[in-house]
Structures are given as structure tokens and as C-alpha cells.
Amino acid sequence: MFRRITFFIWLVYLVIVGILSYSVAVKEVKHRADQQISDVASRLEIELDKFRTLPRVLVLHPSIVDALQTPTNETIESVNQLLLTYNTHLSSDAVYLLSDTGMTVASSNWQDTDSFIGNDYGFRPYFQKAMKGQDGNYFALGTVSRKRGYYFSFPVKKNNDIIGVLAVKVALSVIEDNNINSDIDSNFTLLLTDNHGAIFYSSKPQWNYSALVPLPKSVEAELILQKQYGDGPLPVLSQHNDLPAFLNASFVGLPNRDKQTTYLVADKVMNQVGWHLLALTPRSQVYQIVVLSLIGATLLFMLVALLSLYWRRHVESQRQLSLVNEQLEQRVEQRTGELRQTNIALVDTIEKQKVTEQRLKETQNELIQAGKLALLGEMSASINHELNQPLTALLTYSETLLLMIKKGRTEAFEQTCKEIITITQMMAKIVAQYKLFARKSAGKVGPVRVQDTLKASMAILESKIQKLHADITISNQDDNAQVLAESVPLEQVLVNLLNNALQAQELDDTVKLDITITTLPQHVSISVRDFGPGFDVDDPSRVFEPFYTTKGRGLGLGLTISQRIVESFNGTITAEQHPEGGAVFTITLPRSTA
């Protein structure tokens, strides 16, 4: 029952909306057409007014009168050139001079194949009107050029006697060139007619030189006599008897592509030229507006119906919701207690996780420091060797100094003291290198010069390098190459790689190392190659696994720690077997240009 009532209300609503929208659509379309053709008519009248007074000015030239009074070859040629100049500057279609009999004496197009010279235009109304001493204007189809044009004329006088007529033809292209048709909405069809309803311009070319209504016999005979629109009668497009009846009709039917189309008519009278400017709108445009209005009304009705249905269901759901809320409040209170306990446990877990992460970070730093100390432990023999020699020399110089004091020989005190100072400074430098290496990292990443770090790493291993008589070659060394890292951890990585490379060749007669520095726009690579036996596994990347070692000593954490350090600088470290033998470790770090 509810659906039937809704459907009936919808039908009544659509009928009312359809009637109102049809009336409004007709008024709106008519109003829009009136506005557009008023604007077009004003522009067209302004354009034609530019040519209206031209013949009155052009006849003042003395050569015009000479050509009519004494028509010799020289005077005619002079006027032809003059009229050509006028026509070029005015952008008109033609300017020509007629004798008092209507014969063309001179013309701006005298050189063209369709020249007006020698043609009789005495039958044209613009000539007849000018011979009576008045301004002439007239629209017609050219008898020679077959071009539509509007003609302006003015008499040529000599001592108040009319001896000829000067005419200016403005081609209808003045309408088309000024884009009058483009000013009309594409939904409209533009027509220009005379006072009898004869069409001489239409945006539908098939309607040109037709009549909107049947023309009176006398008018039709006069048009044929004047050849205004050609030599024959004009075909009639509508069923109306006269032009006022056509213009006052609400809708008119006209042929359009072999079918009859109904149009809404908007009319503008151009009194200066005696024309009617019409805009025809297909009735289908009105129907389209009505259909769109009905669709919009239907959507609005559906929206209201849905809102009504929603409101009814909302009231029902509110009633049910109030019952459910009571049950939910009890459940929420129960679950809130459970969630409170869970939240307390979760907060406790998060705190424990933070403590665990902090301890893990501290353990990782301690592991790196332990790796450093372990490496120093491996090099303890070298450290003893480096310090033993200067200590022995220091002891010898001290005993010598004591002996010299006992014997009273003071002349060599200064030299001996200088030697003791030199040896002490050398020992302090050695101890400072290892002390610097053993200190903990500051934890700040910044620009680090590769050359300085490499030099410091080799200084720590200087004793071992000399002991093995190692031949170290550095290729592509760039003094200004910098990376984003931390100097102490990076030094630890390089010491570890260099130490491993030296240990791999301890039993060889010749110990060689190749260090290659490659500087790229975004990265810097440091490669360390030894000439030892290489890796004994198929996958060299296994050497970075924790506790993996091929040595008889050590924990196998050096390369693992080195990998962690390099990755903390957003870099990479790789291990490869060199094709010619030996192992190659490559460190790649982001380049710094600071």
C-alpha cells in the first residue's frame, strides 16, 4: 500500500514539474536567443556602417568626374587605378563607376575575368535611387561574380547635374569574416532575411536563397527583374501565409535534411538595412531541458523518499539501540576491567623491552670494544717487540750516563740526554697509537678522510709489516677522498682486514698487499687484496658468520664485528676470491663532500 501511494504521488509530481519546466525552458531559450541575436545585430550594423558613407567621400576626387565627362583611355585607366587603390585600402569586394545609363565605365576589378566593366546595372535599385540624388543601399546576388554582397551608392554630380553613380560592393564575407556565426550558440540556427522573408544568409547552406513564406506575385516578379537572388523564383520552406504570421508563431516547422523539424523563433529587426535577423532553436532543445528537469526532479523525489524511509528505520533502530545499549554498557564495564589489566601488563612488557634493547646496544658496543682488545691481544708480540728495542736502548743510554757521571766526563751529557728524549718520545708515540686504537667510539658519524684512517691503521701494524717485509701497494690514492663514517671504528675495520691479509701470508716467502681506493660520485670503495691461499669455502660470504674461523686462535668474530660497523655507516663489505689467487675484501661507504 505504501509503495502504491508513493508511486501515485511521484506521477502527479512529474506532471506538475514537466508543465512548469516546459514553460520555463521555452522562456529561457527564447530569452537566450534574443540576447545573442541582439548582440550580433549590433555588431553587423556597426560593420556595415563603416562602408555606408564611403561613396559620398570617394566621388569628391576630380578624376571621377573627368572619366564620366571625357571617357578616354587615359582617364579610364587613371580611374581604374584609383578605384583599385580605394578597394585595397577599404577591404571591400569591388568599387566601380557607372554612367548615367547604368553602364560600368571603370572598376577596381578591371583586370579580372569577372570584371564589371561593360555590364549594365541600370536595373539595380541602388543605381536608380542614386540617380534620384539619394544614398543607395541594396543587398543582392552578383550577376557576374555570383557572390552575395551589399551595395552602397552615391551620385556623381557636375554643377548640380547627376552624371553618374559610384558604387561600393561589400561581399557577404564581411559577415562570415567577423565570426558572426561563431557568436551564436551551436544550438541555434542563424538566418538573415529581407522584409518579405527571402533568405540570403543562413548557417544551414541548404536554406540560402529560399523564402520562409510565399512571396506576393509582384514582389517575386520584382526580385526576378532585379535579379536580386538569381533568375528564378525562390522555393518556400514553411506553410505560413506571410512573414508576420511566421514570426508570431510559437513554433514553426522547416525542412532539415529530408525531415521536418520544429523550431522556436527569435527575431531581431535591423531597421537601417531592412533585414530580419532570426535565431531558430530546435524544439528538441526545450525537450532536453524538460527531460533533464524531470530526471533531476525524480532524483530529488527518490532522495526525499529514501530520507523518509531512512527516518522510519532510524526511529525503529533507535528503539532497538536503546535496548542493546543497556546490554553493551554491562559488557563494556566488564571488558574495561579486563583491558585495564592487559594494558598494565603491556606497559610493563614495553618497559622491559626498552631495557633489553638498551642492554643489547651496550652489549654490541662492548662486543666491538672486545674485538678491538682481542685484536690488540693478537698483536701483543708485535707490541712487545716495538717497545723492547727502545727500552733496551734507553737502558743502555742511562747506564752510560751514570758511568759518565762517576768518571766526571760531562762533555757528552747533552748528546746522551737528547738520545734518551728521542727514544722516550718514540715510545710515547707507539703507546699513543695503540691507546687511540683501544679507546671507545664516540658514536658520531661525520666526514672521515680515507688517507688519514688508512695511514693510522698501517701505523698500528707497522711492526708486523716490517717483520714480514710486506710489500704494500696503494692504487688510485685520492688525498681528498672522504666518507661518512666514524674514524675509530673504521680504523678498527681496516686494521682487522690488513691483519688478516698479513696472517694469511705468514708462511710465504713473499708477502704482498694491494690496496685500491676507488672514488665515485656517490660512494668510495676500499679494496684489500692478499696473495695468500684464498678462501676454503665455495661461498666467501660465510666468513662474516659469527664464530667462523680458519685460524688456530681467535673467536671468529672479527669480520662479523667489521660487517656490523660498516653497515652502521650505511655501507657494505664483501668478500671475493680473486681469479689469480688470494682473497679480496671491499668496503663501500657513502662519499662525503663536506
Q: How high is the pLDDT of residue 553?
A: 56
Q: How far is CA 425 from CA 391, 394, 421, in A?
A: 12, 11, 6
Assign 269 a pLDDT band (cuts: 50, 70, 90). confident
Distance set, CA 214 to CA 52, 235, 237, 244, 571 (Å): 31, 8, 9, 12, 96
479: cell is 688525498
Asked if 54-172 and 443-590 have one fold, the answer is no
CATH of domain 2-26+176-285: 3.30.450.20
* C-alpha cell read off for 152: 552602397
Q: What is the 3-state secondary structure (H, E, C) of 302-370?
A: HHHHHHHHHHHHHHHHHHHHHHHHHHHHHHHHHHHHHHHHHHHHHHHHHHHHHHHHHHHHHHHHHHHHH
- Domain ranges in the chain are 2-26+176-285, 54-172, 443-590
pLDDT, greater one: 586 or 364: 586
In this prediction, residue 410 carries a pLDDT of: 67
- HEC sequence for 91-110: CCCEEEEEECCCEEEEECCC
Whether residue 383 contacts residue 409, with contact meaning beta carbons closer than 8 Å, is answered with no
- Check whether 180 has a pLDDT greater than 60: no
Average of per-residue pLDDT values in the chain: 80
Pick the more confident residue, 509 or 587.
Answer: 587
Residue among 144, 191, 146, 136 nearest 168 (CA): 136
The arithmetic mean of pLDDT across residues 519-525, rounded, is 92
Q: Any residues with CB less than 8 A from the CB of 92 and at least 6 apart, and which?
A: 51, 54, 86, 168, 169, 170, 171
Number of H helices, E strands in the chain: 16, 17
CA 373 vs. chain centroid, Å, equals 60
Q: Is the pLDDT of residue 209 over 60?
A: yes
354-360 average pLDDT score? 74
Q: How far, in Å, CA of 321 to CA of 133, rounded?
A: 98
Closest CA to 98 of 173, 164, 9: 164
Dist CA 462 CA 495 (whole Å): 11
The answer for residues whose C-beta is within 8 angstroms of residue 79's C-beta and 6 or more apart is 63, 64, 66, 67, 97, 105, 106
Written in H, E and C, the secondary structure of 479-515 is: CCCEEEECHHHHHHHHHHHHHHHHHCCCCCCCCEEEE
Of the listed ranges 26-30, 186-190, 303-307, 347-351, the least confidently predicted one is 186-190
| Predicted local distance difference test score (pLDDT) of residue 434 | 55
Q: Mean pLDDT, to the nearest integer, of 251-276?
A: 82
pTM: 0.43
Q: Computed from CA positions of residues 359, 364, 370, 374, in that sequence, does the dihedral angle turn out positive or negative?
A: positive
- Phi/psi of residue 530, nearest 5 degrees: -105, 170
Question: Which pLDDT score, from 0 to 100, does residue 2 have?
Answer: 65
Q: Is the dihedral of CA 116, 120, 126, 131 positive or negative?
A: positive
Per cent of the chain over pLDDT 90 is: 10
Q: What's the CA gap between 594 and 580, in Å, rounded? A: 38
The region of weakest confidence among 186-190, 384-388, 424-428 is 384-388
454 neighbors 494 (Cβ within 8 angstroms)? yes
* 3-class state of residue 360 by DSSP: helix
CB 541 within 8 Å of CB 572: no
According to the model, what pLDDT value does residue 525 have?
Answer: 93
Considering the segment(s) 443-590 as one domain, its CATH architecture is 2-Layer Sandwich (3.30)
pLDDT digits (tens, 9 = 90+) for 359-401: 766 665 665 555 555 555 555 555 555 566 567 767 776 777 7
Note whether 211 and 197 are within 8 A (CB).
Answer: yes
pLDDT class of 514 with cuts at 50, 70, 90:
very high
pLDDT at 433 over 60: no
Per-residue pLDDT at 179 exceeds 50:
no
The partner residues of 589 in beta bridges, in order of sequence, read 524
Angstrom distances, CA of residue 266 to CA of 188, 240, 491: 10, 16, 94
**Weakest mean pLDDT among 77-86, 310-319, 351-360, 465-474:** 351-360
- Give the span between the Cα atoms of 39 and 17, in whole angstroms: 33
Cβ atoms of 251 and 264 closer than 8 Å: yes
Average pLDDT over residues 344-359: 81
CB 197 within 8 A of CB 210: no
Residue 245 clears pLDDT 70, i.e. is over it: yes
Taking residues 237-260, what's their average pLDDT?
82
Q: What angle do CA 295, 299, 305 make, to 5 degrees?
A: 140
Query: What is the rounded average pLDDT of the residues 241-255?
Result: 83
User: Is residue 268 over pLDDT 60?
Assistant: yes
User: And the C-alpha cell for 65?
Assistant: 568626374
Q: Is 356 exposed, middle or buried (0-12, 13-18, 19+ CB in 10 A)?
A: exposed
The residue among 461, 552, 441, 453 whose CA lies nearest residue 501 is 461
Query: What is the rounded CA–CA span in Å between residue 228 and residue 220?
Result: 10
Quick one: cell of 114?
569577372
At the topology level of CATH, where does 54-172 sit? Answer: Beta-Lactamase (3.30.450)
Report whether pLDDT(89) > 50. Answer: yes
Question: For residue 67, is pLDDT > 70?
Answer: yes
Question: What pLDDT does residue 166 have?
Answer: 92
∠ CA 133-218-247, rounded to 5°: 95
Is residue 526 classed as helix, strand or coil in its secondary structure? Answer: strand
Residue 468 predicted with pLDDT over 50? yes
Across 433-438, average pLDDT: 53
- pLDDT, mean of residues 402-425: 72
In angstroms, the CA 530 to CA 511 distance is 8
